[in-house]
Structure 1
């Protein structure tokens, strides 16, 4: 029989070696200063499309001094606009999509108990999509595996302490009364992050060991997370929650704190079956929460097919089964499997952060267009909840006339 101490030491050595490699990869990805930056630049045509106006309107604003022109390269050509400059353009041209003061911020939980469905990848791409569109976004990593935190450029082991996660707010003996302490700026001017690390799992242990008074402690924590997020959400349009991929205390608290649910699933039979089980379990859990006096209410519940390969007949077959089963709850545009997403993830980035294509320009353009269309479906749900639809683009109105 193996020596338990030896096994523990071996697993610890593997974990330590892995953490050191992650740090090496991070330093290599974020040279020269080992910090993630956002160097993407947007041309005037894409900027006009995002702002819903004509390129001529942007040039006129530059000519009359309301907007500074973008910097020029050594060859004299315009380099394009940074994300900070694009946000300034939105303010000057009145092109912000921000919610009205009376609109309820969208608090979206991205959840599925099945691993490998791209939950954290969907979370980060969704956050950056909303960032590009001009919304104020807060991402809350509630998963102690901290994949989302890593994709935002932080090493959970070296850069994040337990006191920088949700732990001081949710623990049995809390040291924080609100969540402001945990908010970190990211390279995106309008996207913030509450990070996670492995020690956040201590909350699960503490609440599980809370004794005879456990139920009331759990209910208090559920309400506390929701109250804290609602308080933080006053400064944001969109809050995106990445809960643990398992049914635990934090997952339940997140599901109760959210006001919308997005369920990613891959187009495979195991993923489909697992997602059905997840939905069945959620139905039972929500009923129990409501019975215990804990309110759960979603403005929308949608499933999105991730990692979809249109050239794979098995994917097509499973997606057809999804459509027949879930009907309009399944978003019509799936997120396509793309090497561009995988290559970006290797660099701890999303496709929206790439300065230039990693693969061919055609592959990158197709991937970006698909992400915009697929994630735009969620934007429309959010705007519909605010009683609005997407604003008409100036050029589209002119062409229609």
Structure 2
């Protein structure tokens, strides 16, 4: 039999956690997919401070679902709707999960699935609530190709977020940087009323990925005016350092990217940030976990950059969060902040390191695709 005092303490603690989660949602809550060395992709809740709101994924894959990724989060009154792509012998479905406080989710089952015209599956998908549109719920999704990325991004709309009507393709690959296919990232509606779509383009070998933006007059209209807004930097070097020290050395001539996520190859690999460089000497944001003798040091933006989120500020400028990933044949996907004076302008890194800290063992290899909890599709959210 449980002790009455202990029972009251546990009840009070659970109530406090629920209150904190609710407060975090009102102050700013984010969802990302994360993965550890021996764990599948699951959905994590984070606060504005870049730290997790729970010690485990808020949506975890079951035995039948190998991975859950690419979340979209909508605040619908007291309810949080979380949509995510699910992998089960292929990325074939989008599922809906709901919660009262944003951290304890109930699986509502699949709400959208690949059809006969989508033999290789669907997803990523991004779902938003757009009260200004003909239907309040809009989903942009990738029609996957045989190698993963596909040539087409399509749109579907829904009156209730559960039953969907397809409206066909709204963007197809056409640039050289899209020769290997596309992927969906994020969407929102500008103050002008135009729709904004963030997506990624891959080269023919799928070795490089760039972030692009396109616009359209309405949610189901064709998108045009595509522009590459962020590209890969190609940086790699060798690094030497002693475990426990916050500094090391790179080879002569190496100009290390400062203030963005880096990765030191090893077993295990070390995600880290360089804060300063003088000649061949570099300083890091934390002590090295391992000793390194000419280990490979990679910029996380070496090969692939995706703009996962953008926000239009009151003065008309923009801020955003990028996912940087696959700098080499290593499992690594992390986030960092950017900003630009215009939507299609030059986007520069803010040099503030990791936006969301991959410190938990189940997020160490991957913490990516951040999406905010918002009530509408406004780009000002």
Q: TM-score range by the shorter chain?
A: under 0.3
The structure in which a higher percent of residues are strand is 2
Q: Which has the greater radius of gyration? A: 1
Tell me: higher relative CO, structure 1 or 2? Use CA pairs within 8 A at least 6 residues apart: 1
TM-score, with length taken from structure 1: 0.26
TM-score, with length taken from structure 2: 0.27
The structure in which a higher percent of residues are helix is 1
